[in-house]
């Protein structure tokens, strides 16, 4: 079974993010890391491909830099990567991203496309569904468990109450949650071997896609500072106050 895994390089979350003046676009340094949420998709892809002696191809959009983040995924065991980098894609929105990724994926022979649920630097959370629509493939989202056999993919789809069991034929697009599988650490040997694995670079014109920029960042503001906590002295009726407080916040 051949699996395509969508992955993204993001600036190291441990360092403060910087935004470009004017556009408010994220400034992406040369050294980027694999988005942590993608490690689950890569691991899932590796496990499924290994069962059937298939391949895992990574597809990624964004500035390549030194490809450090992609090599992290290659070091885990993926076979090859396709990277789409184009100045014209700067500031692209979710739909453009999905168009680019879908165009790159459509030239691959795949049984399954795996994605995370959302990227850590963008958080739109709609790209997987858009890719599926553009590929004309079913979208199975928020998977906490994935099984594939005889041209059928079955997932546990996370819900507020528990999970739904969802099946479809392949090829299909599956978005996986953190925890669907335990991602492996690359071995040192895997790291050294990763640099020998092929990374194919593509541009918008290679894929025949345009960036129809439909999104503009209107304003960026700091998140409000956390307010100080409130102390409730218990004079026998604290529980009623706490219950009222929780109800007010729709926790209960």
Partner 1 sequence: MRSIYIDDDLEAIRLNVRDFVEREILPNVETWEAERAVPRELLNEMGKLGFFGLRIPEEYGGIGLGHVASLLFAEELGRCTSGGTAITAVVHTDLATPYVTNFGLREQKEHFLPKFASGEMITAIGVTESDAGSDVQAIRTVARPDGDGWVINGSKMFITNGGFADVVFIAAKTNPEVKGSRGISIFAVEKGTEGFSASRAIDKMGWHASDTAELVLADVWVPQTNLIGEENQGFYYIMHNFQNERLAVMGLALGEAQKALELTVAYVKERKAFGKPLWDKQAVRHRLAMRQAEVDAGRELAYKAAWMMDQGMDAVREVSEVKAFVGEVDNRVMYDCVQFHGGMGFAAESIIERMYRDARIASIGGGATEVMLDYAAKRL
Q: Is 195 in the site for partner 1 (CB under 8 A)?
A: yes
Q: Is 178 in the site for partner 1 (CB under 8 A)?
A: no
Please enumerate in sequence order all residues whose Cβ is within 8 A of that of 6, keeping only pairs 6 or more positions apart, or say none: 38, 41, 58, 59, 60, 101, 105, 113, 114, 115, 116, 127, 128, 131
Rounded Cα distance between 62 and 72, Å, is 16
Residue 176, H or E segment? strand 172-176
Q: Is 192 in the site for partner 1 (CB under 8 A)?
A: yes
Q: Binding residue for partner 1 (CB under 8 A) from 73, 194, 204, 207?
A: 194
Q: Is 185 in the site for partner 1 (CB under 8 A)?
A: yes
Rounded Cα distance between 143 and 40, Å, is 11
Q: Is 45 in the site for partner 1 (CB under 8 A)?
A: no
| Contact window for partner 1 (CB under 8 A) among 47-55, 131-139, 160-168, 191-199 | 191-199
Contact 7, 73 (CB under 8 A): yes
Q: Is 17 in the site for partner 1 (CB under 8 A)?
A: no
Q: Is 71 in the site for partner 1 (CB under 8 A)?
A: yes
CB of 167 to partner 1, least distance (A): 33
Beta strands 33-34 and 139-149, pairing class: unpaired
Stretch 51-70 residues interacting with partner 1 (CB under 8 A): 66, 68
Query: Residue 98 is encoded by which pair of tokens?
Result: 């999905």
Q: Interface with partner 1 by CB under 8 A: which residues?
A: 31, 33, 66, 68, 71-72, 75, 185-192, 194-195
């Amino acid at each position: 079974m051949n699996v395509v895994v969508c992955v993204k390089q993001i600036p190291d979350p441990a360092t403060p993010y910087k935004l470009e003046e004017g556009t408010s676009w994220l400034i992406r340094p040369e050294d980027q890391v694999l988005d942590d949420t993608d490690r689950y998709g890569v691991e899932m892809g590796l496990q499924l491909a290994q069962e059937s002696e298939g391949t895992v191809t990574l597809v990624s959009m964004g500035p390549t830099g030194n490809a450090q983040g992609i090599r992290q995924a290659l070091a885990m065991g993926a076979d090859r990567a396709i990277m789409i980098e184009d100045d014209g894609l700067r500031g692209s929105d979710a739909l453009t991203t999905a168009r680019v990724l879908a165009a790159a994926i459509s030239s691959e022979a795949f049984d399954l496309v795996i994605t995370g649920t959302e990227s850590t630097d963008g958080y739109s959370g709609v790209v997987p569904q858009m890719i599926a629509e553009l590929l004309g493939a079913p979208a199975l989202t928020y998977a906490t468990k994935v099984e594939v056999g005889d041209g059928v993919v079955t997932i546990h789809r996370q819900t507020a109450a528990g999970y739904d069991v969802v099946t479809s034929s392949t090829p299909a697009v599956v978005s996986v949650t953190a925890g669907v599988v335990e991602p492996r650490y690359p071995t040192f040997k895997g790291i050294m071997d990763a640099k020998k694995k092929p990374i194919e670079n593509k541009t918008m014109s290679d894929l025949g896609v345009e960036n129809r920029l439909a999104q503009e960042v209107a304003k960026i503001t700091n998140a409000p500072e956390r307010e100080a906590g409130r102390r409730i002295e218990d004079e026998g009726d604290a529980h009623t106050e706490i219950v009222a407080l929780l109800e007010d916040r729709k926790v209960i």
